[in-house]
């Protein structure tokens, strides 16, 4: 039975919230507790809590197998995994890093930490992904590295980017944080470019409470990264071989990540069911388009992104405010884009009309283990209600100048 019958039933106009527990766009995976405890017992019994203990070693082996790469090096976060790999790979004497603007909100800060200037490139309107064509105009004599960040649904054109980087002799690092489970026409994500970076943050497909890792087939890069994350010294602190820091993953995080990895196929099966529920129900609502996963390749089906088309009758901000008030924590997709934010550090300023346009149109909807099929029915039903009653909702919102609602 419809839960909202009249516009006064919306929380924003004094009604009761659709959900008691917020429905988030974060994964917040709870892996099998017994598995987590069994892995934890391993390091506890050996009395080794960090510094390349049994779970970190096992996790690195398992992740390298999972991504079909020669090496995996774990880190305390995806941020530092990517930052240290950039500093290992960037061409010396050059100071620009090419990255999309429509991406992870802290990506430009990563460049700043390694003393490089972000040089923002456009993305393709059909895929929201950077491509060889959008990167090419940004390449110049200062280019130190291409940071190829996949969008959160499907992947960039990996082959095109690999070919361009090879032709121009520029190191290529993929940010594959949102593409852990994905495959492309050329194989599984993990082994492309010089290296690929992933996160084990609790909101991601693989939950290690926090953490990150790099996969690569380059033995000397793997060795260098393993040194850098552990202070950069060899032989009991006798020789300092690189600019290191403490960026190690500890054992309890590795135990959690291993338990998550054990359940990843099952998790993806659940995600796929949720995605199909969204797909089926959203197809009945005009003005809203689900970004579809490419069924020709493997995908994690975690992220649910919709486009509000021109005929969608409410603004995106009003839509988000209304949903957030109902505890549906919808979020604008990578908005504002990085190039439009004030930055206290050096960057190459760019004019990116495609990114500006796209940054206004997309929305992430709740997903992951804490969202059920029934929740999705309710979420889509309320979207249908908003579409059908947009005129009076919008008038009432703006007549009374209701403050934009933001759930924190």
Looking at 24, 26, 74, 77, which residue binds ligand PLP (CB under 6 A)?
A: 77
Residue 25 makes contact with ligand PLP by CB under 6 A: no
Q: What percent helix, strand, coil does the chain show, rounded to 5?
A: 40, 15, 45
- Span interacting with ligand PLP, options 55-63, 65-73, 174-182, 324-332, rule CB under 6 A: 174-182
Looking at 79, 278, 333, 334, which residue binds ligand PLP (CB under 6 A)?
A: 79
Q: Please give the angle made by the CA atoms of 272, 263 and 293, to the nearest 5 degrees.
A: 25
Asked if 380 and 282 count as a contact pair (C-beta separation under 8 A), the reply is yes
- Of residues 81-140, those binding ligand PLP (CB under 6 A): 82, 104
- Select 259 or 380, whichever has its Cβ closest to ligand PLP: 259
- Span interacting with ligand PLP, options 31-39, 170-178, 326-334, 395-403, rule CB under 6 A: 170-178
Q: Kindly state the smallest distance separating residue 247's Cβ from ligand PLP, in Å.
A: 11
Using the structure block, give the residue that is written with the tokens 């996949």.
Answer: 150
Those residues whose C-beta lies under 8 Å from the C-beta of residue 36, and which sit 6 or more positions away, are 255, 256, 259
Strands (E), 222-298: 233-234, 239-240, 288-290
Per-residue tokens: 370: 């804490």
Q: Which helix (H) or strand (E) holds 12?
A: none
- Of residues 181-240, those binding ligand PLP (CB under 6 A): 199, 201, 212
Q: Kindly state the smallest distance separating residue 79's Cβ from ligand PLP, in Å.
A: 3
Per-residue tokens: 348: 């190459």
Q: Kindly state the smallest distance separating residue 149's Cβ from ligand PLP, in Å.
A: 6
Q: Kindly state the smallest distance separating residue 103's Cβ from ligand PLP, in Å.
A: 6
Q: How many CA atoms lie within 13 A of 159 on its CB side?
A: 5
Nearest to 110 by CA among 175, 44, 185, 17: 175
Per-residue tokens: 349: 């300023």
- Span interacting with ligand PLP, options 64-72, 73-81, 183-191, 374-382, rule CB under 6 A: 73-81
- Select 148 or 222, whichever has its Cβ closest to ligand PLP: 148
- Select 104 or 192, whichever has its Cβ closest to ligand PLP: 104
Residue in the shown chain whose Cβ atom is closest to ligand PLP: 78
- Select 250 or 277, whichever has its Cβ closest to ligand PLP: 250
């Amino acid at each position: 039975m419809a839960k909202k019958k009249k516009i006064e039933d919306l929380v924003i106009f004094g009604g009761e919230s659709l959900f008691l527990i917020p429905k988030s766009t974060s994964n917040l995976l709870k892996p099998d507790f017994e598995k987590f405890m069994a892995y934890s017992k391993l390091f506890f019994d050996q009395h080794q809590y960090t510094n390349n203990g049994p779970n970190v070693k096992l996790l690195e082996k398992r992740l390298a197998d999972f991504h079909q790469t020669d090496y995996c090096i774990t880190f305390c976060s995806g941020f530092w995994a990517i930052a240290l790999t950039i500093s290992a790979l960037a061409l010396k004497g050059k100071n620009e890093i090419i990255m999309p603007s429509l991406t992870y909100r802290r990506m430009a800060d990563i460049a700043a930490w390694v003393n490089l200037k972000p040089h923002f490139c456009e993305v393709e309107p059909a895929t929201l992904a950077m491509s060889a064509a959008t990167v090419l105009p940004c390449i110049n004599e200062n280019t130190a590295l291409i940071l190829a960040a996949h969008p959160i649904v499907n992947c960039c054109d990996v082959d095109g980017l690999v070919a361009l980087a090879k032709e121009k002799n520029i190191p290529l690092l993929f940010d594959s944080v949102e593409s852990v489970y994905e495959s492309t026409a050329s194989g599984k994500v993990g082994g492309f470019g010089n290296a690929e970076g992933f996160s084990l943050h609790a909101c991601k497909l693989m939950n290690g409470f926090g953490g990150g890792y790099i996969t690569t087939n380059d033995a000397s890069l793997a060795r260098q990264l393993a040194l850098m994350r552990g202070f950069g010294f060899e032989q009991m602190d006798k020789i300092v071989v690189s600019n290191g820091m403490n960026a190690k993953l500890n054992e309890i995080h590795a135990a959690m990540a291993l338990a998550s990895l054990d359940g990843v196929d099952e998790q993806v099966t659940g995600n796929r069911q949720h995605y199909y529920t969204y797909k089926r129900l959203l197809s009945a609502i005009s003005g809203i388009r689900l970004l579809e996963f490419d069924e020709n390749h493997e995908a994690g089906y975690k992220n649910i992104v919709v486009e509000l088309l021109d005929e969608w009758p409410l603004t995106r901000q009003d839509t988000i405010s209304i949903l957030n008030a109902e505890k549906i924590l919808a979020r604008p997709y990578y908005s504002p884009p990085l190039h439009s934010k004030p930055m206290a550090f050096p960057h190459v300023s760019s004019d990116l009309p495609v990114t500006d346009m796209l940054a206004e149109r997309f929305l992430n909807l709740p997903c992951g283990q804490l969202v059920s099929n029934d929740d999705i029915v309710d979420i889509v039903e309320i979207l249908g209600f908003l579409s059908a009653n947009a005129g009076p909702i919008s008038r009432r919102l703006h007549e009374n100048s209701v403050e934009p609602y933001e759930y924190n």
